[in-house]
Amino acid sequence: MFSRRALLVELLLLAIQAFPSIALDSRAASYMDNAMNATDVLNNVYYNSGTGLWNNLWWNSANALTVVADLAKASSAYVNTAEGIFASTFQNAPGRAKGPGWTDNYYDDEGWWALAWLDAFDLTSNQTYFGAAVGIYNDMQTGNNATCGGHWWDKPHSQNNAIGNELYMSVAAHLAERTSGDDRTGFLNDALREWNWFKNSGLIDSNNTVHDGLNLTTCQLNYNSTTWTYIQGVILGALISLNNVQSDPSYLQTASNIAHAVLTHMVDSNGILIEWGGSLTPDENASQFKGVFVRNLLLLQQAQPDDAYVSFLQNNADGLWANARDAATGLIGPDWQGPYEDNGMSSQNSAASCLLAAALIS
């Protein structure tokens, strides 16, 4: 004979089987609540409206701004908060990297800010934010024609690496998506030239893993170079934007190949994403990288759905919430398999990106 509790459980299971969307909506709502919590902690602990930065970090703050914009796009309840942060950052952050406006000596830093302001523009339709992105891109163009081809990582011309080239391509493609006429053609041609160079540069190996850079003497891939998670991620977003402007099945196929390589080779035995070289904590740069990957994997899932991406994002969101979070403070560490340790601004906003991605695909 069923107990009252057993009967209720049985009825709940029958309801879920009859109306599976109820269970999915509940799971999505839980992830969204967690994403809201993680982002609130990010802003309450690390954001300084007087400087417009999170923990006085530069390129990482552009990624934090992107997290805020993405959350506001997903939840109208967050729009006012996001718009306030956009305004204070736009007013107070320029020049804090010792360069004019949103520029400095590193083209990749500039790329992060261009993408962040395009996200803010998408939410607000504020042309000032769009103009900032275009201005940043104009400065990024001075990094073209690097040794070995492609785009320089920095203005002293010390490296020709994946992230600098990926971000240049991504910003060009994103601008092409949001323009028309000659402007659209110009941005598209820049993105196409960059992709044609990138795909033939050797930076993507035979396992579909993206490596960090080229030897400037030989222009050959250094197979001992790092394979950071974020360089697997930025290229996904760049290819998706390029495909949105000029459809080509090879773009999304290449993105899929890279994504599946990460899900195969850059996870632990439980499928939790790990950074190249294992734990590099405390490190505000390395702890930013996984958030970039999962944010772009979400875009790939939205462009070309794949159950493997859904399982991966949910598994990582569950793992970091259960094992890498301090329940008393809401702070989340960089190692999503746990234990909780070494929280920083970057690990917090990376976790928020993962939780939001899980909410939006559940």
What are the DSSP calls for 162-188, one per residue? HHHHHHHHHHHHHHHHT--HHHHHHHH
Residue type, position 33, single letter: D
**Does residue 290 contact residue 337 with C-beta atoms inside 8 Å?**
no
**Does residue 265 contact residue 202 with C-beta atoms inside 8 Å?**
no
pLDDT given at position 276: 77
pLDDT digits (tens, 9 = 90+) for 89-131: 999 999 999 899 999 999 999 999 999 999 999 999 999 999 9
pLDDT-derived band of residue 8, with 50, 70 and 90 as boundaries? very low
Q: Is the pLDDT of residue 10 over 60?
A: no
Distances (CA, A) of 189 to 193, 234, 246, 348: 6, 19, 11, 36
Q: Is the pLDDT of residue 136 over 90?
A: yes
pLDDT given at position 198: 98
* Mean pLDDT across the chain: 93
Residue type, position 204, single letter: I
Q: Is the pLDDT of residue 251 over 80?
A: yes
Q: Is the pLDDT of residue 16 over 80?
A: no
pLDDT digits (tens, 9 = 90+) for 181-231: 999 999 999 999 999 999 999 999 999 999 999 999 999 997 778 899 999
Chain CA centroid to CA 45, Å = 21
- Which residues 6+ apart lie within 8 Å of 12 measured at CB? none
Q: Which of 92, 83, 153, 151 is closest to 119 using CA atoms?
A: 83
pLDDT given at position 134: 98
pLDDT given at position 11: 47
Q: Tell me the mean pLDDT in the region 265-283.
A: 83
Q: How many CA atoms lie within 13 A of 80 on its CB side?
A: 1
Q: Tell me the mean pLDDT in the region 33-54.
A: 98
pLDDT given at position 22: 44
Largest CA distance in the chain: 78
